Amino acid sequence: MLTKEELEEYSAEAIEIYLDHISIDCVVFGFHEGQMKVLMLKSKNEDGWQLPGGFVQKREPIDVAANRILATRTGIDEVFLQQFHVFGAPDRNRQHNEMYADMVAKEKNFFAHRFISIGYYALVDFFDAIPTPDEFSEICTWRDLNDLPPFLLDHELIFTTALDTLRLQLSYQPIGYNLMPKEFTMPELQKLYETILGKKLDRRNFQRRMLGFGILNKLPQTRKGGAHKAPYLYSFDLENYQAALKEGLKSGW
């Protein structure tokens, strides 16, 4: 539990260094053991979980702020990170919560102000990230997409909007470089796509399509040790991958 003193101190500091009324929330996706994961934080003062978030420093570009917030929660930097929506309902603040509203006078309590939040979503390598709680949270950890805890505020809306966006992106952008390890097999990559889309894909058509994009390098090695036939390993061709990110994978009209 945060004390009144701690909250006052955090608030006074925040007012000094951050822009008022603007926050950033990140939906951080990871992939592990065939399951899609989201990074979440268990609040100290409130009974629920939330997405990693933060504020924008007074002279900081918003993309830099999002990167900083993500780096603080995971230790990783320079990953796929993209704004996807702004959440600006007037009641998306913490005034309803006694802890935030009553402990410190509302005007003086930065965190009880109204915040318009810019939603970012990130794709990161599960093993690269070291989940790290912030001052307001007791736990920071990966949660399975199929087993999500109750959300605080409008964070469920932010999460579902991010997932919808990710699914859309999948149709016209390559995705995977930031979610997969350096080397991976085609079935592993397929599993990622199936997990994001929530449905099965044809093994052979998937492979042909993926290879058709020209963003994969087939490595001479195979992944041994598993039962059954050993699958080939692949890595992303970063140059072509970046190009595909810009160009898109297919054109309409």
Partner DNA sequence: TCAAAAGTGTTTTGGTTACACCCATGC
Partner DNA sequence: GCATGGGTGTAACCAAAACACTTTTGA
CA 22 to mean position of chain CA atoms? 19
Binding site for a second copy (CB under 8 A): 19-22, 56, 58-63, 65, 83, 85-86, 88-90, 114, 116, 118, 170-172, 193, 197, 201, 250-253
Residue 50 C-beta: closest distance to a second copy, Å: 21
126 interacts with, out of DNA, a second copy, none, CB within 5 to 8 A per kind: none
Residue 77 near DNA by CB under 7 A: no
Rule CB under 7 A: is residue 253 a binding residue for DNA? yes
* Residue closer to a second copy, measured from CB, 127 or 253: 253
Among residues 41, 124, 114, the alpha carbon closest in space to that of 79 is found at 124
Residue of 59, 182, 199, 229 that binds DNA (CB under 7 A) = 229
Choose between 59 and 204: whose C-beta lies nearer to a second copy. Answer: 59
Cα torsion angle, 33, 35, 39, 42, sign: negative
Which of residues 129 and 179 has its CB atom nearest to DNA in the complex? 179
User: Minimum Å distance from CB 230 to DNA?
Assistant: 5
The smaller minimum CB distance to DNA, of residues 230 and 243, is found at: 230
59 in contact with DNA (CB under 7 A): no
| 62 vs 71, beta carbon nearer a second copy | 62
Restricting to residues 147-186, name those near DNA by CB under 7 A: 185-186
Smallest distance from the beta carbon of 171 to a second copy, in angstroms?
3
* Total interface residues for DNA by CB under 7 A: 23
Residues in touch with DNA (CB under 7 A):
185-187, 202-205, 207-209, 212, 222, 224-232, 250, 253
